[in-house]
Structure 1
Amino acid sequence: MEYIGKTGEYFSLDTVNANNCHLLKEQKNETLLLLWFTEGENELIIDGKKYHFNANEIVCLTQFHQLIVHRINEVKLMRFNRPFFCIIDHDSEVGCKGVLYYGAAQLPILFPDEMELEILETAWKMSALEFEMKDDLQLEMLQMMLKRTLILCTRIYNKQSSNQDKTHPINPKQSDLLREFNYLVEVHFRSKHTVADYAELLFKSPKTLSNTFKKLGLKSPIQLIQERLLLEARRLLSYTEKDISLISDELGFNDIQSFSRFFKNQEGCSPTEYRLSKK
């Protein structure tokens, strides 16, 4: 099922199995994906790391994730682009920026309970029905169903996070700060490499930003910045033939020596050795 609007809006729902798993590999500009595994024993390689997904687990991916399919039994695939619904412009409505999508190096995997699955199933069925309605309200209704799905998934993720570490409860202001930091890292990691860079964008001092993460028992801001840089370096080394000096420039390092030192400190091998290991 596919909706294509008059001004480039794109929204699709598909059920993917071993026979049509090529749908997962399709590249569409500025699209976000939601994968809801409805059967167990699925295996994907995402950015070079192997993941096993069981029934009723959900993962959210952006167009930047590199995806290789090893085994798919059945998964529901939702895909939409920015003209259809921009999660950045509508962040106050769905609150998933920096959580489900554009959350720096973290991969959001959701584990909905029985009641949450019922709501998701209802939203999915209503979305499917709307594809049959060829009237002026179709776009708005499909957007409404998408928003309902994103809001529920954001709630699931936030509940998971709070349950994992009840000794460090997060208040709404702290949550907003973390989400905005994650998003800013996703946008600026190629050019901004220090905590001070992001503290300035957030109108905070570097010490305040670092202390907030520490109080919440999270990785430090500099760790998250470096993890995002490392993730992109791995992608470029694994999935492109770009020269290492060009990758260094693209990631904002002053010279190839600085990039090589960073990569070896983080990964334990040189960029050249890493690239050779992936061939």
Structure 2
Amino acid sequence: MKLHYVDPISAGELHLTLHESNFDRLFFQRDRKDKFLTLAWNDGPAQTVTIDGIQQNFPPQTILPLMVNQTFTFEKPEHIIAWQYNRNFYCIVDHDKEVSCVGFLFYGSAETMFIALDEQQQKKLNLLLQVFIDEFEDKDAIQRDMLQMMLKRLIIIVTRLGKQQYLKEQTLTDDKLDVLRKFNLMVENNYRKAHTVQFYADQLNKSPKTLANYFALYNHKSPLTVIQDRIILEAKRLLMYTDKSAKEIAYDLGYDDASYFSNFFKKQTSYAPSDFRNAKATLLSAGQ
């Protein structure tokens, strides 16, 4: 089942996909124009999810937040329930104070989060899911408001569970977590042109050392590693899903010296850009 809501005025969209055998998202090849955040719920057995070419285990009864620009496919999409929405429908940045999620579910961590649901939480979400389905069918003047309210409720539930499961350090106070969330959001918006920790530290009115200390409390990668990993991730996507040359990709990512970028890419991945592209093409042609 696929349910859709589109606001004719704002172009806000909310999609609900339930147990569809062809559900996926191929951002670079097919879906680039669609800027949807995704909350995917595996309500079946464990399966494999492939995110940007990397296979990961998707445990049963877990929720996986996915970014707007991620390519993903599921081994068993018929066991997936997914909510997808764009900025025009609900902007998590503008409403961060309401749901406290902008940097946590989608921008706060370099790691993929699989948020587990116990039996009570499964029942709660199943009840909420049924209300979602009912509201998609109610075509009236307050449909958008009702769907937004329920989406907000879903985000709050998942955010609370995620914080319980991924934030173990008591010394990481809300103000420090807020700095981390803002840092990661800024990296997402600026990684193509800003490659140094100093740039982000200046924007946040913090020293690079203070940022490093906050990330250490989170048991997270260093700020520089977060920046570099985001650059490498985008480079991999462009190598896998476009025909751009390594030189063009280097310029796209803010490097005037293509050879410097190639050396940087090889240091991070152990592959030269051309070798990475060839290796991924071989895997794809083999059906892996």
Q: TM-score, normalised by structure 1?
A: 0.92
Task: Find the residue that maps to 1:98 and give its secondary structure.
Answer: helix
Deviation per residue, 1:75-117 (Å, 9 max, x gap): 1011111111111111111111122113464322211222222
CA shift in 2, pair 1:67/1:215, >3 Å: closer
Q: Which residue of 2 aligns with 1:37?
A: 42
Question: Do 1:98 and 1:180's aligned partners in 2 also have CA atoms closer than 8 Å?
Answer: yes
Deviation per residue, 1:32-73 (Å, 9 max, x gap): 111101111422211111022232111111221012344334
CA shift in 2, pair 1:73/1:132, >3 Å: closer
Question: Do 2:37 and 2:85's aligned partners in 1 also have CA atoms closer than 8 Å?
Answer: yes
Report the Cα offset of residue 24 of structure 1. Answer: 4.6
Question: Do 1:39 and 1:56's aligned partners in 2 also have CA atoms closer than 8 Å?
Answer: yes
Question: Do 1:248 and 1:256's aligned partners in 2 also have CA atoms closer than 8 Å?
Answer: yes
CA shift in 2, pair 1:206/1:23, >3 Å: closer
Question: Do 1:37 and 1:76's aligned partners in 2 also have CA atoms closer than 8 Å?
Answer: yes
Q: Structure 2: any 5+ residue segments left out of the alignment?
A: 282-288
Question: Do 2:25 and 2:71's aligned partners in 1 also have CA atoms closer than 8 Å?
Answer: no
Give RMSD over aligned pairs.
1.8
How many residues end up aligned between the 2 structures? 274
Question: Do 2:35 and 2:87's aligned partners in 1 also have CA atoms closer than 8 Å?
Answer: yes
Question: Do 2:167 and 2:218's aligned partners in 1 also have CA atoms closer than 8 Å?
Answer: no
CA shift in 2, pair 1:254/1:147, >3 Å: same
Q: Which residue of 1 aligns with 2:210?
A: 208
1:46 to 45, 51, 54: 51
Distance 1:77 1:17 in 2: 10
Q: Which residue of 2 aligns with 1:160?
A: 165
1:189 to 164, 188, 191: 191
Deviation per residue, 1:133-182 (Å, 9 max, x gap): 2211111010000000001111111111134xx4x631111111111111
Any residues of structure 2 matched to 1:92-103 within 5 Å, and which?
Answer: 92-103=97-108
Distance 1:37 1:198 in 2: 36
Report the Cα offset of residue 22 of structure 1. Answer: 4.0
CA shift in 2, pair 1:245/1:103, >3 Å: farther
Q: TM-score, normalised by structure 2?
A: 0.89
Distance 1:271 1:193 in 2: 19
Distance 1:74 1:220 in 2: 36
Any residues of structure 2 matched to 1:1-279 within 5 Å, and which?
Answer: 1-7=3-9, 8-18=11-21, 21-22=22-23, 24-25=25-26, 27=31, 29-103=34-108, 105-163=110-168, 166=169, 169-279=171-281
Percent identical among aligned pairs is 36
Report the Cα offset of residue 118 of structure 1. Answer: 2.3
Distance 1:56 1:217 in 2: 26
Question: Do 1:162 and 1:169's aligned partners in 2 also have CA atoms closer than 8 Å?
Answer: no
Partner amino acid, structure 1, of 2:97: S
Distance 1:90 1:264 in 2: 40
Distance 1:272 1:105 in 2: 25
Following superposition, which runs of at least 4 residues in structure 1 exceed 6 angstroms of deviation? none
Q: Structure 1: any 5+ residue segments left out of the alignment?
A: none
Task: Find the residue that maps to 2:128 and give its secondary structure.
Answer: helix
Partner amino acid, structure 2, of 1:247: I
Question: Do 1:56 and 1:112's aligned partners in 2 also have CA atoms closer than 8 Å?
Answer: yes
